[in-house]
């Protein structure tokens, strides 16, 4: 049986704005996503971690230092503390629900970067009824298995490292 996902119902090739485009060092910020949408992108790639109190936030790294200049791990901070920090001195770290809600016409490839973000991410996608416009992704095969089990078969998901290796080997 071949499953078709609404996420992929566009003509190929698909142009993705990786981390929102990040042209000005403001990756994974509302400003970067807005700029990409203004440029015509309808597919955005982003990354998700979860705070200590279970809020899924759009941020690539597990730690804050590269993007905010602060020390600490996202998973160890509460949302109330994280929301006061700035990316590049200007932009705030966005919550996943704010990003999905701001651009309901856009499709998101959501790379879930940590095990602690699995449940909060899937709950947010479910709550916003965004399952038809997201693809859940991870480089971790174990994390992908958990995402698929929790999200169910109607939400598109990526291949993990082993799946990509199997596909590559089959092509040879």
CA gap 136, 117 in Å, rounded: 12
User: Of the listed 34, 52, 60, 146, which one is catalytic?
Assistant: 60
Instruction: Please give the full DSSP string across 106-152, using - where no structure is assigned.
Output: SEEEEEE-SGGGHHHHHHHHHHTT-GGGEEEE-S-HHHHHHHHHHH-
Q: Is 72 exposed, middle or buried (0-12, 13-18, 19+ CB in 10 A)?
A: middle
Report helix, strand or coil for 4.
coil
Reported residue count of the chain is: 172
Mark whether 49 is an active-site residue: no
Mark whether 60 is an active-site residue: yes
Report helix, strand or coil for 84.
coil
User: Of the listed 18, 42, 86, 146, which one is catalytic?
Assistant: 18
Best CA proximity match to 67, nearest among 75, 57, 59: 59
Residues with a known catalytic role: 18, 60
């Amino acid at each position: 049986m071949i499953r078709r996902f609404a996420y992929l119902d566009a003509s190929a090739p698909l142009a993705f704005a990786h981390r929102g485009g990040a042209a000005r060092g403001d990756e994974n910020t509302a400003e970067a996503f807005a700029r990409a949408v203004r440029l015509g992108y309808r597919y955005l790639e982003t990354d998700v971690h979860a705070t200590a109190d279970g809020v899924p936030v759009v941020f690539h790294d597990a730690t804050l230092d590269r993007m905010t200049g602060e020390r600490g791990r996202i998973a160890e901070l509460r949302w109330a503390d994280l929301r006061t920090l700035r990316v590049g001195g200007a932009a705030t770290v966005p919550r996943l629900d704010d990003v999905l809600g701001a651009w309901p016409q856009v499709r998101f490839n959501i790379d879930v970067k940590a095990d602690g973000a699995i449940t909060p991410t899937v709950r947010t996608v479910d709550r916003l009824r965004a399952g038809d416009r997201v693809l859940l992704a991870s480089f971790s095969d174990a994390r992908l298995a958990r995402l698929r089990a929790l999200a169910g078969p109607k939400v598109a998901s990526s291949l993990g490292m082993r799946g990509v290796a199997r596909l590559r080997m089959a092509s040879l």
